[in-house]
Each structure stands twice: as C-alpha cells, then as structure tokens.
Amino acid sequence: MSRITSRRTPISPNYPSCDECYAKLLIYPGNIHPDEVSSLLLLEPTKKNIVGTRIVNRLGRVKEIKISGWFLSSENYVNSKDLRDHLNWILDRIMPSSGGLKQLQNIDGVTMGIDCVWRSIAGHGGPTLWPEQMQAMSELGLECSFDIYFVGD
C-alpha cells in the first residue's frame, strides 16, 4: 500500500470505532454454475450456493436455494477491525483474475459487487477507504455497498 504521509487515518487493525467488519465479493452468475465461475477466475470461493440445493437455515427449516451464488468473504480470514484490510484481502485475491471477472461481467444475467459489513461501536467514525481500494474496484468494474449496523440496536 502507498506510503503517502498526509493520510488522516492510518490502517489500524484495532480501529477504535469498529466492533466488527468484513467484506464480501458477491457474484450471482445467473445460469452459470458456481464451479464455472471458479474455473474462469482460477479461484475458489469461501462459499457457494447452487440452485436446487436443499439446506437447513439457522431456524432449522429446510430451504431450497433459488439463486446460485459465488462468494469470497474476508469474514473469519482477516483479523482486523479496519475495513481496508478486508478489502485488500479480497482485492489481492481477485486482481490476478481480472480477465475472468471481465468475461463474467459481459454475460447477460450475471451480477456482482463488493458488500462491506461494518458494526459501529460509537455511531460515528465509520469505515475509511483509501484511493488505492477505490481505484482497484473501479479497474475491476465492481460497485461497493455498505451494510452499517450499530452495536446495541
């Protein structure tokens, strides 16, 4: 990462206003099997959903998967409360696969983006992104969304 000294927020794994955070690359491949996504990206997901698969949800109910998904999540892989560490983990894995990602983006019915989860302790001082993460996501054609929660709510 860059050594620019004017940054207001240095990367800190103990980010003081964060209780928990992680990032996920979500690929919904339409009619393409998630294993084909893995082949195109030369990368295995941390989780995949396959249409027609029956699973037991957290309430103990059997549910059939209706939409396939290929997911790469930093949750349980990155030990940091700084979202930039989580984004860097995702981006470091997907950047070598940019060609395959572009192929997928040009297939009708395929949607994708990065989703960031942030749980705030204090209700202020939220996540920070550096230009490097924004540039990498832009080069990859990936949108970035945030799910923000407040501890105690």
Q: Are 87 and 11 in contact (CB under 8 A)?
A: no
Tokens representing 110 are 């395929």
| Residue 11: predicted pLDDT | 87
What total of structural domains would you count in the chain?
A: 1
- Judge whether 94 lies within some domain: yes
pLDDT tens readout for residues 36-76: 999 999 999 999 999 999 999 889 999 999 999 999 999 99
21 or 57, which is more confident: 21
| Residue 5: predicted pLDDT | 77
Band (pLDDT 50/70/90 cuts) for residue 6 is confident
Query: Which residues make Cβ contacts (< 8 Å) with residue 68, sequence separation at least 6?
Result: 28, 29, 30, 32, 33, 34, 48, 49, 50, 51
Amino acid identity at 95? M
- Judge whether 10 lies within some domain: no
74: nearest Cα among 39, 116, 103: 116
Domain range for 116:
16-148
